[in-house]
Protein backbone atom coordinates (compact mmCIF):
# COMPACT_ATOMS: atom_id res chain seq x y z
CA UNK A 1 0.00 0.00 0.00
CA UNK A 2 1.55 3.27 -1.13
CA UNK A 3 -0.79 5.84 0.40
CA UNK A 4 -3.58 5.65 2.95
CA UNK A 5 -6.67 7.15 1.30
CA UNK A 6 -8.84 7.32 4.43
CA UNK A 7 -10.70 10.64 4.34
CA UNK A 8 -10.11 11.14 0.62
CA UNK A 9 -12.70 11.27 -2.15
CA UNK A 10 -12.55 9.11 -5.26
CA UNK A 11 -13.97 10.47 -8.50
CA UNK A 12 -14.91 7.83 -11.08
CA UNK A 13 -13.25 8.29 -14.45
CA UNK A 14 -15.07 7.51 -17.73
CA UNK A 15 -13.06 4.29 -18.32
CA UNK A 16 -14.42 2.71 -15.13
CA UNK A 17 -16.25 -0.30 -16.58
CA UNK A 18 -18.55 -1.14 -13.65
CA UNK A 19 -21.92 0.61 -14.30
CA UNK A 20 -22.67 0.66 -10.54
CA UNK A 21 -19.87 3.20 -10.16
CA UNK A 22 -20.14 5.23 -13.39
CA UNK A 23 -19.82 8.95 -12.55
CA UNK A 24 -19.72 8.13 -8.85
CA UNK A 25 -18.10 9.99 -6.00
CA UNK A 26 -16.90 7.80 -3.14
CA UNK A 27 -15.78 8.96 0.29
CA UNK A 28 -13.14 6.57 1.66
CA UNK A 29 -13.94 5.75 5.30
CA UNK A 30 -11.11 3.29 5.85
CA UNK A 31 -8.05 2.08 3.96
CA UNK A 32 -5.22 -0.16 5.06
CA UNK A 33 -3.10 -3.04 3.76
CA UNK A 34 -6.15 -5.37 3.86
CA UNK A 35 -8.34 -3.24 1.60
CA UNK A 36 -10.65 -0.23 1.64
CA UNK A 37 -14.21 0.73 2.49
CA UNK A 38 -16.10 3.78 1.26
CA UNK A 39 -19.54 5.22 0.62
CA UNK A 40 -20.96 6.39 -2.68
CA UNK A 41 -22.13 9.91 -1.82
CA UNK A 42 -23.87 10.98 -5.02
CA UNK A 43 -26.48 8.28 -5.70
CA UNK A 44 -29.78 8.30 -3.89
CA UNK A 45 -32.15 5.38 -3.48
CA UNK A 46 -35.29 6.85 -5.03
CA UNK A 47 -37.62 4.54 -3.11
CA UNK A 48 -36.44 5.67 0.35
CA UNK A 49 -36.40 8.84 2.43
CA UNK A 50 -34.84 9.12 5.84
CA UNK A 51 -38.25 9.45 7.50
CA UNK A 52 -39.44 6.23 5.80
CA UNK A 53 -36.32 4.44 6.99
CA UNK A 54 -36.91 5.64 10.56
CA UNK A 55 -40.55 4.42 10.38
CA UNK A 56 -39.40 1.01 9.10
CA UNK A 57 -37.05 0.75 12.08
CA UNK A 58 -39.85 1.63 14.53
CA UNK A 59 -37.91 4.53 16.02
CA UNK A 60 -39.35 7.45 18.00
CA UNK A 61 -40.72 10.69 16.61
CA UNK A 62 -40.05 11.83 13.10
CA UNK A 63 -39.41 15.51 12.41
CA UNK A 64 -41.18 16.71 9.25
CA UNK A 65 -37.93 17.86 7.63
CA UNK A 66 -36.76 14.24 7.25
CA UNK A 67 -39.39 13.63 4.54
CA UNK A 68 -37.14 15.41 2.06
CA UNK A 69 -33.86 13.87 3.21
CA UNK A 70 -32.65 11.18 0.82
CA UNK A 71 -31.11 7.83 1.63
CA UNK A 72 -28.04 7.11 -0.47
CA UNK A 73 -26.82 3.99 -2.28
CA UNK A 74 -23.60 3.59 -0.33
CA UNK A 75 -22.44 0.72 -2.51
CA UNK A 76 -23.31 -2.83 -3.54
CA UNK A 77 -21.89 -4.58 -0.44
CA UNK A 78 -24.30 -5.38 2.42
CA UNK A 79 -27.19 -3.27 1.12
CA UNK A 80 -29.17 -3.98 4.29
CA UNK A 81 -26.54 -2.30 6.47
CA UNK A 82 -26.85 1.40 7.21
CA UNK A 83 -24.17 4.06 7.69
CA UNK A 84 -24.33 7.74 8.55
CA UNK A 85 -21.45 9.86 7.29
CA UNK A 86 -21.55 13.09 9.27
CA UNK A 87 -19.90 16.20 10.65
CA UNK A 88 -17.87 15.84 13.84
CA UNK A 89 -20.42 17.76 15.94
CA UNK A 90 -21.95 14.40 16.92
CA UNK A 91 -20.21 11.57 18.75
CA UNK A 92 -21.36 8.40 20.49
CA UNK A 93 -19.80 5.10 21.39
CA UNK A 94 -19.17 3.37 18.08
CA UNK A 95 -18.57 6.57 16.11
CA UNK A 96 -15.39 6.44 14.05
CA UNK A 97 -13.60 9.73 13.44
CA UNK A 98 -12.49 9.45 9.81
CA UNK A 99 -10.91 12.90 9.48
CA UNK A 100 -10.74 16.14 11.46
CA UNK A 101 -14.11 17.14 9.96
CA UNK A 102 -15.98 13.89 9.27
CA UNK A 103 -17.08 10.83 11.24
CA UNK A 104 -18.92 7.61 10.48
CA UNK A 105 -21.54 6.00 12.71
CA UNK A 106 -23.28 2.72 11.90
CA UNK A 107 -25.59 2.18 14.87
CA UNK A 108 -29.31 2.74 15.39
CA UNK A 109 -28.49 5.27 18.11
CA UNK A 110 -27.59 7.92 15.54
CA UNK A 111 -30.90 7.45 13.73
CA UNK A 112 -32.73 7.78 17.05
CA UNK A 113 -30.79 11.00 17.73
CA UNK A 114 -31.67 12.32 14.25
CA UNK A 115 -35.33 11.45 14.80
CA UNK A 116 -35.25 13.46 18.07
CA UNK A 117 -33.53 16.39 16.35
CA UNK A 118 -30.28 15.72 18.23
CA UNK A 119 -28.17 14.29 15.41
CA UNK A 120 -25.26 15.81 13.52
CA UNK A 121 -25.78 19.07 11.63
CA UNK A 122 -24.36 17.68 8.37
CA UNK A 123 -25.12 14.08 7.50
CA UNK A 124 -25.64 11.57 4.76
CA UNK A 125 -27.44 8.29 5.44
CA UNK A 126 -26.43 5.39 3.19
CA UNK A 127 -27.36 1.76 2.73
CA UNK A 128 -24.54 -0.55 1.68
CA UNK A 129 -20.93 0.31 1.01
CA UNK A 130 -18.19 0.01 -1.59
CA UNK A 131 -15.41 -2.37 -0.64
CA UNK A 132 -12.05 -3.36 -2.07
CA UNK A 133 -9.89 -6.32 -1.14
CA UNK A 134 -6.15 -6.24 -0.59
CA UNK A 135 -4.47 -4.32 -3.45
CA UNK A 136 -7.69 -3.98 -5.45
CA UNK A 137 -8.12 -0.22 -5.01
CA UNK A 138 -4.45 0.38 -5.76
CA UNK A 139 -4.82 -1.59 -9.01
CA UNK A 140 -7.89 0.47 -10.00
CA UNK A 141 -5.97 3.68 -9.25
CA UNK A 142 -3.06 2.44 -11.39
CA UNK A 143 -5.52 1.72 -14.21
CA UNK A 144 -6.77 5.34 -14.00
CA UNK A 145 -10.28 4.31 -12.94
CA UNK A 146 -10.33 6.92 -10.17
CA UNK A 147 -9.05 10.38 -9.45
CA UNK A 148 -8.51 11.18 -5.80
CA UNK A 149 -9.10 14.52 -4.14
CA UNK A 150 -9.39 16.03 -0.69
CA UNK A 151 -12.69 15.93 1.17
CA UNK A 152 -14.88 18.97 0.76
CA UNK A 153 -17.83 19.41 3.14
CA UNK A 154 -19.76 21.55 0.66
CA UNK A 155 -19.56 18.92 -2.07
CA UNK A 156 -20.26 16.02 0.30
CA UNK A 157 -23.18 17.49 2.24
CA UNK A 158 -24.53 20.64 0.58
CA UNK A 159 -24.44 19.89 -3.16
CA UNK A 160 -27.33 18.15 -4.94
CA UNK A 161 -26.47 14.47 -5.50
CA UNK A 162 -26.60 14.69 -9.30
CA UNK A 163 -24.16 17.65 -9.24
CA UNK A 164 -21.53 16.24 -6.87
CA UNK A 165 -19.44 14.40 -9.50
CA UNK A 166 -19.20 17.46 -11.78
CA UNK A 167 -18.64 19.75 -8.78
CA UNK A 168 -15.73 17.64 -7.49
CA UNK A 169 -14.11 17.60 -10.93
CA UNK A 170 -14.68 21.34 -11.33
CA UNK A 171 -12.93 22.04 -8.02
CA UNK A 172 -9.92 20.23 -9.47
CA UNK A 173 -10.09 22.39 -12.60
CA UNK A 174 -11.32 19.52 -14.78
CA UNK A 175 -14.20 19.87 -17.24
CA UNK A 176 -16.11 16.55 -17.39
CA UNK A 177 -16.96 16.94 -21.07
CA UNK A 178 -13.23 16.92 -21.90
CA UNK A 179 -12.59 13.55 -20.23
CA UNK A 180 -11.89 10.58 -22.45
CA UNK A 181 -12.72 6.96 -21.71
CA UNK A 182 -9.34 5.94 -23.18
CA UNK A 183 -6.65 5.57 -20.53
CA UNK A 184 -2.96 5.16 -20.85
CA UNK A 185 0.21 5.22 -18.84
CA UNK A 186 3.15 7.45 -19.60
Please give the pLDDT value at position 25: 97
CATH number at residue 93: 3.40.1740.10
Please give the pLDDT value at position 113: 87
Query: Quick check: 49 pLDDT over 80?
Result: no
Please give the pLDDT value at position 131: 96
Q: What average pLDDT does the structure give for the chain? A: 87
Domain assignment of residue 105, yes or no: yes
Q: Write the pLDDT tens digit of every residue in 128-139.
A: 999 999 999 999
Please give the pLDDT value at position 52: 73
Domain assignment of residue 146, yes or no: yes
Task: Answer yes or no: are the C-beta atoms of 12 and 37 closer than 8 Å.
Answer: no
Looking from the CA of 27 toward its CB, the CA atoms found within 13 Å total 30
Please give the pLDDT value at position 134: 95
Rounded CA gap, 147 and 169, in Å?
A: 9
169 phi/psi in degrees, rounded to 5: -65, -45
Query: Quick check: 12 pLDDT over 90?
Result: yes
Q: Where residue 106 falls among pLDDT bands split at 50, 70, 90? A: very high
The domain in which residue 48 lies consists of 8-178
Task: Answer yes or no: are the C-beta atoms of 158 and 17 closer than 8 Å.
Answer: no
Please give the pLDDT value at position 186: 46
Domain assignment of residue 74, yes or no: yes
Domain assignment of residue 183, yes or no: no
Domain assignment of residue 186, yes or no: no
Please give the pLDDT value at position 185: 47
> What burial letters (b/e) apply to 75-97, b meaning 16+ CB within 10 Å?
beeeeeebbbbbbbebeeeebee
Domain assignment of residue 38, yes or no: yes
Please give the tally of structural domains in the chain: 1
Domain assignment of residue 1, yes or no: no
Domain assignment of residue 108, yes or no: yes
Q: Write the pLDDT tens digit of every residue in 154-184.
A: 999 999 999 999 999 999 888 876 665 555 5
pLDDT over 70, % of the chain: 89
Query: Quick check: 124 pLDDT over 90?
Result: yes
Amino acid sequence: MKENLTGKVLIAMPQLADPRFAQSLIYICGHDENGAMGLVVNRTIESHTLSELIVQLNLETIPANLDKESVFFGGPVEMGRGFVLHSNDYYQEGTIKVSPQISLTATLDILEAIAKGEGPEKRLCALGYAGWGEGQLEAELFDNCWLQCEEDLETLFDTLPDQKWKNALGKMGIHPELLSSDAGHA
